[in-house]
Amino acid sequence: MTYAGWTNRSHRTVARLSGALVVLGSLAPGAPVSAQQSLAPAAGGNVPASAGANAAAKPAPPASLDGPAQLVAQQWAHLWNTESLDALMALYAKDAEFYPTSGERISGAAALRALFASALAANKPAITMTSVTSSHSGNLAFDAGDFVEIITRKSNGTAFPVTGRYVLICRQGPGGRWLIAQQMWTESVAKPR
């Protein structure tokens, strides 16, 4: 996955997340991951000398951008892009709700699976999700941000961009797993009909 072109604030977060995505890819979907541990700098955390003296004095990105929901969102994007439906569905609570751009409410894992299976059967996704704010308290966490997706129709190869905003609310369940309880999307570019 490439994340070039993100804003400076997000770029700092992405630089820290890129290592976490490798870790997430080797875990069972929804497995607990300590954001602080998985995002810790490699090799003792030293800043390379080539980064200059001022780089060592720069503060880390805000802790609120290292929340468990942000990690779930990045794992979701990876699984969506690789069309890994079973692993994607393992990120959801059984009673999860999804609010698509149409404004309807889709409830429950079976309904979500049917919606996602239909979308993936017709389209090849390529989504990038950029967290703007993320936080957690107790057994609840949220991540909100922007997305850019290039959707390619499998029937004819037509591709078009879609941009918008997302909100992901996660709930920590048994065994410490963070699962998606609610997910909402807005869309700022209309799809061709």
Q: How far is CA 113 from the centre of its chain?
A: 18
Strand partners, 176: none
Q: Give the tens place of pLDDT for each residue, 90-143.
A: 999 999 999 999 889 999 999 999 999 999 999 999 999 999 999 999 999 999
Q: What pLDDT, on a 0 to 100 scale, did the predictor assign at position 192? A: 56
Please name the amino acid found at residue 131. S
The confidence score (pLDDT) of residue 193 equals 53
- Residue 93 is classified by DSSP as E
Give the torsion sign (CA, 92, 94, 99, 104). Answer: positive
- pLDDT digit string (tens) for 161-172? 999 999 999 999
Which residue is it, tokens 């410490």? 176
Q: Which of 148, 143, 169, 172 lies closest to 160 in space, CA to CA?
A: 148
Q: CATH says 8-185 is which class?
A: alpha beta
Domain range summary for the chain, segments of one domain joined by +: 8-185
DSSP string, 138-180: TTEEEEEEEEEEEEEETTT--EEEEEEEEEEEEEE-GGG-EEE
Q: Can you give the pLDDT at residue 17?
A: 33
Q: Where does 18-91 show beta strands of DSSP type E?
A: none
Give pLDDT, residue 47: 30
pLDDT, tens digit, for every residue of 22-64?
A: 223 323 333 333 333 232 223 333 333 333 333 334 333 444 4
pLDDT attached to residue 2: 29
Summarize the confidence of residues 6-31 as an average pLDDT: 30
Residues 6 or more apart in contact with residue 108 via CB below 8 angstroms: 94, 95, 96
Q: Can you give the pTM of this predicted structure?
A: 0.65
Q: What are the tens digits of pLDDT across the range 62-83?
A: 444 478 999 999 999 999 999 9
